[in-house]
Amino acid sequence: MITAKPLSRQASCWQREFARAIRDPNELLRELDLNPALLPAAQAAAVKFPLRAPRGFVARMRRGDPDDPLLRQVLPLAEELAPAPGFVADPLDEQATQAAPGVLHKYPGRALLIATGVCAVHCRYCFRRAFSYTEARAGANQWRSALSYLASDASIREVILSGGDPLALSNRRLSVLLAALEQIPHLERLRIHSRLPIVLPERIDGGLAAALTDTRLRPVLVIHANHPHEIDETVVKALECLATAGVTLLNQSVLLRGVNDDAATLAALSEALFAARVLPYYLHLLDHVQGAAHFAVKENVALAIMNTLRQRLPGYLAPRLVREQPGQLAKTLVESRR
């Protein structure tokens, strides 16, 4: 007799897509009709930080173009292995700012909880690329000490779920976490930092929208898009679903050489975001992490791009150019010196 699995045990559609991500450099090159000569370098660089790209995201890349701005974000390159002075494993000294296991509390009023170490995509420029992404999700025990830290400090008004990618957690696990956070009386806002709405929009389902809006905490979702080509119809639909449910939507980008280091691209990104009901929040200067030096944009170039961008867009569509400096009490605004 064939028995159907109970519904709760079946992987949902997004979980299957999550698991089906491309991890083999050879498959990625074949999928996009790229020159097989790129393979040895891709394989070598993937040893340090594995390739991972959801198929739906790869489908938005141009075939046969090794410089495609979406491909550049995920394809391992020989440049990653070249030594670059000043580019280190932990550029933000995050290991030193752990307030409790899995909690970073650097800025007054808000604390960041590493909800899971898993990501749907591996971004080659990621400042956490040197940490183990294969590490299992933070167990219930780890949440327990994180939760008691948050409960012990009444100055914390906002909890930021980060990772990894917190939306890699199932709706059920996320709801368990939100229910526990809701019990902490001084928390008012729930912020989630996630790249999943962009790289795996299937993740945004009715269950997630309900989980985010059924809580007394005010929900803010900060997505992560770097290039207008990342925002296709499926992404717009997913974001509209969340906006309609009442989630405040913001975007952060990283300024990346060869991906989005020109005002026209960033202006198109802001316009596409707004059309999908998202406001631009931050444009980050690259953190100097080992293996990402080829993405760096010089500060004076970044400022010139920002000046042009501000002339082209309404003020509310121009993101704030920031850099993270260890030891500061907020992100540092990057402005022209006069």
Ligand X SMILES: *Cc1c(COP(=O)(O)O)cnc(C)c1O
Site of interaction with ligand SF4 (CB under 6 A):
119, 121-123, 126, 128, 163-165, 195
Judged by beta carbon, residue 104 or residue 198, the one nearer ligand X is 104
Q: Phi, psi at residue 249, to the nearest 5°? A: -115, 125
Beta strands per DSSP E along 133-277: 158-162, 189-194, 218-224, 248-254
Cβ neighbours, 10 Å, residue 84? 16
Q: Phi, psi at residue 195, to the nearest 5°? A: -100, -5
CB of 94 to ligand SF4, least distance (A): 12
CB of 133 to ligand SF4, least distance (A): 7
Judged by beta carbon, residue 187 or residue 231, the one nearer ligand SF4 is 231
The item of ligand SF4, ligand X, none sharing an interface with residue 323, based on CB under 5 to 8 Å by kind, is none
The item of ligand SF4, ligand X, none sharing an interface with residue 112, based on CB under 5 to 8 Å by kind, is ligand X
Judged by beta carbon, residue 107 or residue 274, the one nearer ligand X is 107
Q: Which helix (H) or strand (E) holds 98?
A: strand 98-100
Amino acid letter, 50: P
The item of ligand X, ligand SF4, none sharing an interface with residue 91, based on CB under 5 to 8 Å by kind, is none
Judged by beta carbon, residue 257 or residue 320, the one nearer ligand X is 320
The item of ligand X, ligand SF4, none sharing an interface with residue 225, based on CB under 5 to 8 Å by kind, is none
Inter-residue contact 176 to 139 (CB < 8 Å): no
CB of 328 to ligand SF4, least distance (A): 21
Of 16, 55, 14, give the one whose Cα is nearest residue 204: 14
DSSP 101-127: TTEEEEETTEEEEE--S--SS--TT-T
Give the CB-side neighbour count of residue 26, counting CA atoms within 13 A.
Answer: 1
The item of ligand X, ligand SF4, none sharing an interface with residue 106, based on CB under 5 to 8 Å by kind, is ligand X
Judged by beta carbon, residue 100 or residue 121, the one nearer ligand SF4 is 121
The residues of the shown chain that bind ligand X, judged by CB under 6 A, are: 104, 106-107, 110, 112, 160, 330-331
CA 172 to chain centre: 21
CB of 250 to ligand X, least distance (A): 9
